[in-house]
Chain A
Amino acid sequence: MPLESLQISTPTDTTIVLTRTFRAPRRRVWEAMFTPERMRRWMLPPPGWTLTVCECEARVGGSLRLAWKSEEADPVMTLRGKFTEVVPLERIVHTETMALGSGQTIGSLVETHEFAETDGVTTMRITQAYESKEARDAAIGSGMDQGMEAGFQQLDALLARPS
């Protein structure tokens, strides 16, 4: 398994945990994650969308504002949040609410980022806590866990065969 491999797990009914390592000290990962001009580089919009607003104040009470606009018609999508906990280089917690241009809310979650550094390699753990199991399942599309993933890997060969 390569060092950078993304791990996704669902430790509870309402959470998704993403773990990923980066070959960089956490100071640099932190800056890339929470500085607006850096965020624009990796906050890839869905195909056909453009990121129009990107504001991020990584301090307690600071706000997070993102907006996307569709190239096709007029719809706009926004994400608004507040930072509730900030331990520089270690841990950061923010709320986020996605909404349509009309103001209609799509869903809310609390996102926690945790950083650990060993020998210049940073492990980032993102925990997304949704309001309900249904909202969590809608986000991930399933209730997949590590064990299932291991099972799926063994099934790969079989699935490749036409049935």
Chain B
Amino acid sequence: MVLDRSVRLDRVFHALAHPARRAIIRQLTGGERNLSELASPLRMTFPAATKHVRVLERADLVRRRIAGREHLCRLHAPPLRDATLWTEQFRKNWEARFEALDSLLVEMESEERSRPRRR
């Protein structure tokens, strides 16, 4: 189970590590697009765009259906939710520490103010 999850996450993070693939995902948040619609704003050849879409498919971030001669891609978001939840824990732990540090710094400031100054 744990291994499955980590293999799955590896694929998601690998898929997201390329700017072109992140751009594809952003486009797909607007709804279903065919391959040439995805390729043109990236100034990319059709085969290059197809390659990126395949990587996204392997990560299960994109699902593709064939309608006539068109390959229509849509975003499949659940793996992303999984990935963000995982990293959020690391962020939350540090945010909690730094918020505690914020309050400590405020306290230290008032300590310094009330302390008689030495010349």
Residues of A that sit less than 8 Å from B by CB: 4, 6, 8, 18, 20, 22-24, 28-29, 31-33, 38, 41-44, 46, 139-145, 147-148, 151-152, 154-155, 158-159, 163
B22 touches A148 (CB 8 A): yes
Which residues of A lie under 8 Å from residue B109 when comparing CB positions? 24, 28
Which residues of A lie under 8 Å from residue B78 when comparing CB positions? 163
Q: Is B40 an interface residue (CB 8 A)?
A: no
Residues of chain B in range 65-94 having any CB-CB distance to chain A below 8 Å: 75-78, 80-81, 83-84, 86-87, 89-91, 93-94
Which residues of A lie under 8 Å from residue B83 when comparing CB positions? 142, 144
Which residues of A lie under 8 Å from residue B101 when comparing CB positions? 22, 29, 32-33, 41-42
- Name B14's closest neighbour in chain A (CB-CB): A143
Distance, CA A29 to CA B79, complexed state (A): 39
A22 touches B25 (CB 8 A): no
Nearest CB of B to A55, in Å:
18
Range of interface residues on B (Cβ < 8 Å) = 35 or more
Distance, CA A42 to CA B26, complexed state (A): 38
Which residues of A lie under 8 Å from residue B108 when comparing CB positions? 24, 28, 31-32, 38
Distance, CA A152 to CA B86, complexed state (A): 13
B100 touches A41 (CB 8 A): yes
Assess A42 versus B97: contact at CB under 8 Å? Given A8-B90, A144-B13: yes
Nearest CB of A to B66, in Å:
22
A142's partner among B9, B25, B77, B105 (CB-CB below 8 A) is: B9
A20 touches B90 (CB 8 A): no
Assess A142 versus B94: contact at CB under 8 Å? Given A24-B109, A147-B22: no
A20-B94, A142-B13 provided; 13 other pairs, C-beta below 8 A? A18-B94, A22-B98, A24-B108, A32-B105, A41-B104, A44-B93, A140-B90, A141-B87, A143-B13, A144-B13, A152-B80, A159-B77, A159-B81
